[in-house]
A and B are shown apart, each in its own frame.
Chain A
Amino acid sequence: MQLTPNEKRVLSALNDLKRSPPAELAAKSDLNPDALMQSAYLLEEKGLSEIQESVTEIYTISEEGKEYARVGLPERQILSYVQSCGEGVTIPELKTRFPPAIVGISMGWLRRKGWAAIADGVVVPAGDAAPDTGADEDTLMMLLEEGVLTESAHETAVKDLIKRKLVDVTEKKLRTIAITEEGEKLSREISQVEETAEIVQLTSDIIRSRRWDNIRAYDIHATVPRTYPVKIHPYQRLIDQMRRILLEMGFTEIKGDVVQSSFWNFDALFQPQDHPAREMQDTFYLNSEAELPEGYEKVRDVHEFGGETGSTGWGGEWSEELSRKEVLRTHTTAITIRYLAEHSDPPKKAFCIDRVYRREAIDPTHTPEFEQLEGVVMDPGVSFANLLGYLVEFYHHIGFKDVRFRPGYFPYTEPSVEAEVYVDSLGWVELGGAGIFREEVTAPLGIKCPVLAWGLGVSRVAMLRLGLRDLRKLYQSDIDWLRESPVGA
């Protein structure tokens, strides 16, 4: 039978005492009362001890009782006065000397105790000497001195005192712990084993001397303090997972500057110069300008009249000045399109996961900066069906098994598509847009084959995967959240 160290201590103490109230046993076992009782009950469950409960009355002295204990019971006060007068005293006279209540109480008791006779309103003492103190008076004195009594030799006297409201009574449960036969047997066995000392901490000495026979058994279920491993940010872990998936799918990672010209952020993507997304309202503009790249005129032409693409273009006059204005990139497409323009020999598969900026006020689902993922494929034979193929593959890998598509709209892709994934708790959730770059985008930059492109709000996936309601948590992190977020399998 396995006993905890506390249980062993209690059993051993109990074996010495055989029967004991908890306080005594606690002292003997050197445990606090709570720990003692816990062990005692555990021992009882194992049949090693018995806990008996009994109810006892506890007597305490009342305020009035204390007073009489000091000055004597009313009957004794009256008697000693009457005796001092040397003859009988009338009740009315007594009432001038003592409070009438006291006189009233006394008459009955004087008679009952046989200390005096009352005839025709005159109190006549039974003798000259003061009578011996009665059991009631003794009990009262004892209570005054000791405060509490649990049992009394003078039950009737106590009952009288209770009736006279000089003593209060309360009930108390008393527990007694006793050892069983089995307990005694086990205790003996243990004490034999304990003669060779129990090992708590293994030491180098013990190992080298091979004296490890008596290693204390631990309760392997006892609670231990929680330790938190230091780790990378849960959001970074998700970003790294997406990066890994894309690298495994054969995509090359690209990066670029946050500060971009309107040319790369908008114009190269055939975003008309009067497009609402380009307004100060939505985009962070800087008070600086960039040089336009060589060959920018082709982009101008495609905006104005379609250039050589057969498109109608947007019409109107394209402004170089607007195109030079610098902005904080509003999408990672600014990075991917520039990469493709500078590496226009196919095939190319590239991705960019990085921070983008939108002029939006902060609230739980909007932040002025967030991560975006962008993937592009430039390959002579690729088609819209291939784009859907890449999307399904990518979403499967990040854990969304059901993917469906519907038409979408982005200014720089045609055809465009919205991907939706099925999330158990939410149903179909829009998770990213995709399309084939318009020829108005690719042709002026010297790109001669189709470019598949898709984008994804990484922070949206993070909200779904990390179960977040507030995007800000990703950026203004609570350290306890970081401590407690599991790394996962």
Chain B
Amino acid sequence: MPVITLHYDDLENLTGADRDTILERVRMIGADVERVHDDHVDIEFFPDRPDLYSVEGVARAMRGFLDIETGIPQYAVRESDVEITYDQEIGNIRPFLACAVVKGIKFTQHSIESLMKLQEDLHWGIGRNRSKVSIGVHDLDRVVPPFRYIAADPSYEFVPLDFEVPMSIGDMLKKHPKGVKFAHLLEKFDKYPLILDSEDTVLSFPPIINGTLTRVQDDTENLFIEVTGTDKSVSVALNIVVTAIAERGAEIESVQVCTPETAHITPDLTPKTRSISVGDADALLGLDMSHDEVLQALRRMRFDAAARSDDVIEVVVPAYRADIMHAYDIFEDIAIGHGYDRITPVLPETMTIGEEHPISRMKSSLREIMVGLGFYEVMPFTLTSETVHFEMMQRPQTSDTRGVTRVMHPITREQTMLRTTILPNLLEILSFNQHRELPQRIFEAGEVVSGGRNEVHLAAVAIDAHANFSEIRSVVDSVMCERRAAHDITESNDPAFIDCRCADIIINGESVGVFGEVHPGVILNFGLDQPVIAFEMWGLKV
């Protein structure tokens, strides 16, 4: 989630409140204060509120929350004569476009940094790493409208940002750092998007890189902003950017976007309206608010709101809010505006009777038996590797007939699959504890995944100079006896154990476990050098 740097002097000026008040209350609008520095604070805002990804946006919200300025903020949009037209062909590549002009900017160090960071965070937050939305901000005075949004051949050349010589856009995808990073977004296409001015000067090659000519500098006064994308969220992204700049007093002007068929004006800062039921809000929040309280909470959250009937309130939602999809989204803002700290926790009256899960009950019994038999419980990881699970156990990979669950993109070679048996984990734990006093006796009543389904196994190991078959057989007999299970044993051919010193556990003709003296080769594979005995049981009935 984006972490926003807020400089106190800037934040205090834009908010009209002192830093202590702001810092004390900001978490209550939905924020994690990450770190407080001498001259600034780093705050993480949630992914559903990209309008808070700038100091201007935070100040706007805090003015409402602190009752300094409530209700919906007004932004005037003047018509300009700037036009952008777009090619038929671009419709298949990156069809959504929204643009604006902003005039009369006086950049400061902080405001220019804030704008750049906002752009970056929106690329992440709304843009899904530029795939859905990418934003270009240009010095309007360097270019001559009208602009064009076209699909160009890979051989088209211009000088990209941070470069001094022209380069073809096809080469940029291979050589320019940004090109390499984002080339995958265009890999399906043989023509690439470009935004040009009337003299064929390149403003940008979305979503990859801007031209160097229109780079925004400290003395830039007028901006042309273009937002391209694959989704209608280009509009809200543009709205967030232009309103943030306008918070510092610049003037927003519209751009006419002409497709081959239609023309429309952007940015569209017309607020959306939604009607909500006060009764529904009260019921969901567990509050009993008057109309006025609801209206006040909404205005504090920078909505406009007016009562339409005894129950219905019409809410006017600012055009920079990207998260209002449903009435519940407004209810949450009412709760935040009202103050989470003013909501009294109440226990409901509904009567229910809890019940333990049968598997948990069984595991508890197994634990009781094993602890009684002198085994400590362990809870190892269930992700493991073929090496530990099969090779070190001297077991062939084909020994799991019901299917091993392998992950597609393991992080390490140690974690490539989910265990289908527990014994390898227990031997690993013995190997971690070689320097500890013997004897060591450990067990796990845990779940394995076999054929994609969870299954409960019980396994135990003991390491000791005198560990032998009769000891482990006696343990197995005790477990079976405690579980009131009548079992037989037959010779086993599990290669993890010493031949003729191991046995399969049989119930009703079915193999439900194995035990015996662990094979010395396996003992050595786990870096151990003392006799080890072990058992594992499955098919356990709850």
Contacts and interface: CB of A to CB of B under 8 A. Distances in A.
B325 A259 contact: no
A143 B382 CA distance: 79
Contact of B352 (A231, A328, A349, A414): A349
A109 interface: no
B367 A236 contact: yes
B411 interface: yes
A476 B409 contact: no
B436 A385 contact: no
Contacts of B364: 240
Contacts of B452: 257, 259, 288, 326
Interface string B280-310: 0001111100000000000000000000000
Contact of A231 (B354, B377, B436): B377
Interface stretch (A127-135, A195-203, A399-407): A399-407
A347 B442 CA distance: 42
A381 to B, nearest CB: 7
A250 interface: yes
B346 A386 contact: yes
A388 B343 contact: yes
A32 interface: no
A224 to B, nearest CB: 17
In this complex, which of B28, B344, B346 has the most chain A Cβ atoms within 10 angstroms of its Cβ? Answer: B346
Contacts of A348: 352
Interface residues of B, number: 82
B132 interface: yes
B284 A479 contact: no
B313 interface: no
B464 to A, nearest CB: 13
A440 B326 CA distance: 9
Given A232-B371, A385-B285, A483-B376, A405 B406 contact: no
A257 B353 CA distance: 24
Nearest to A255: B357
Contacts of B260: none
A72 interface: no
Contacts of A355: 382, 447
B47 interface: yes
Contacts of B28: 406-407
Interface string B9-22: 00000000000000
A417 to B, nearest CB: 7
A77 B41 CA distance: 99
Contact of A359 (B356, B360, B411, B441): B411
Interface in B308-363: 325-329, 331-332, 335-336, 340-341, 343-348, 350-357, 359-360
B407 A284 contact: yes
Nearest to A450: B284
Nearest to A476: B432
Contact of B360 (A253, A310, A377, A390): A253
A254 B285 contact: no
B345 A388 contact: yes
Contact of B285 (A326, A384, A409): A384
A391 B405 contact: no
A392 B345 contact: yes
A287 B412 CA distance: 18
B378 interface: yes
A408 interface: yes
Contact of A280 (B325, B409, B412): B409
B411 A368 contact: yes
A31 B505 CA distance: 58
Interface in A295-321: 306, 309-313, 315-316
A385 B408 contact: no
A246 interface: yes
Contact of B328 (A258, A357, A415): A415
B355 A384 contact: no
Contacts of A240: 364
B347 A390 contact: yes
Interface in A347-387: 347-349, 355, 357, 359-362, 367-369, 377, 379, 381-386
Contact of B347 (A253, A393, A416): A393
B411 A407 contact: no
A255 B360 contact: yes
A258 B364 CA distance: 20
A287 B377 CA distance: 33
B232 interface: yes
B325 A306 contact: yes
B355 A247 contact: yes
A406 B377 CA distance: 38
B360 A438 contact: no
Contacts of B432: 476, 478
B407 A476 contact: no
B367 A383 contact: no
B352 A250 contact: yes
A251 interface: yes
B183 interface: no
A383 B284 contact: yes
A422 interface: no
Interface in B345-397: 345-348, 350-357, 359-360, 364, 367, 371, 374-383
Nearest to B428: A476
Contacts of B377: 231-233, 236, 482
B29 A407 contact: yes
A243 B346 contact: no
Contact of B408 (A250, A285, A349, A476): A285
Contacts of B344: 385, 388
B376 A259 contact: no
A230 interface: yes
B428 to A, nearest CB: 8
B178 interface: no
B376 A253 contact: no
Contacts of A360: 411
Given A232-B367, A258-B418, A415-B331, A286 B407 contact: yes
B483 interface: no
B354 A252 contact: yes
Contacts of B285: 383-385, 415
Nearest to B432: A476
Interface of A: 230-233, 235-236, 240, 243, 246-259, 274, 276, 280, 284-288, 306, 309-313, 315-316, 326, 328, 347-349, 355, 357, 359-362, 367-369, 377, 379, 381-386, 388-393, 404-409, 414-417, 430, 436, 438-440, 450, 474-480, 482-483
15 contacts: A235-B379, A247-B354, A284-B407, A310-B326, A355-B382, A359-B409, A384-B343, A385-B286, A389-B346, A414-B332, A415-B336, A436-B284, A476-B428, A478-B433, A478-B436
Interface of B: 27-30, 32, 46-49, 128, 131-132, 231-232, 283-287, 325-329, 331-332, 335-336, 340-341, 343-348, 350-357, 359-360, 364, 367, 371, 374-383, 405-409, 411-412, 415, 418, 428-429, 432-433, 436-437, 440-442, 447, 449, 452-454
By Cβ-Cβ distance, the 3 closest A-B pairs, closest first, are A383-B286, A385-B286, A409-B46
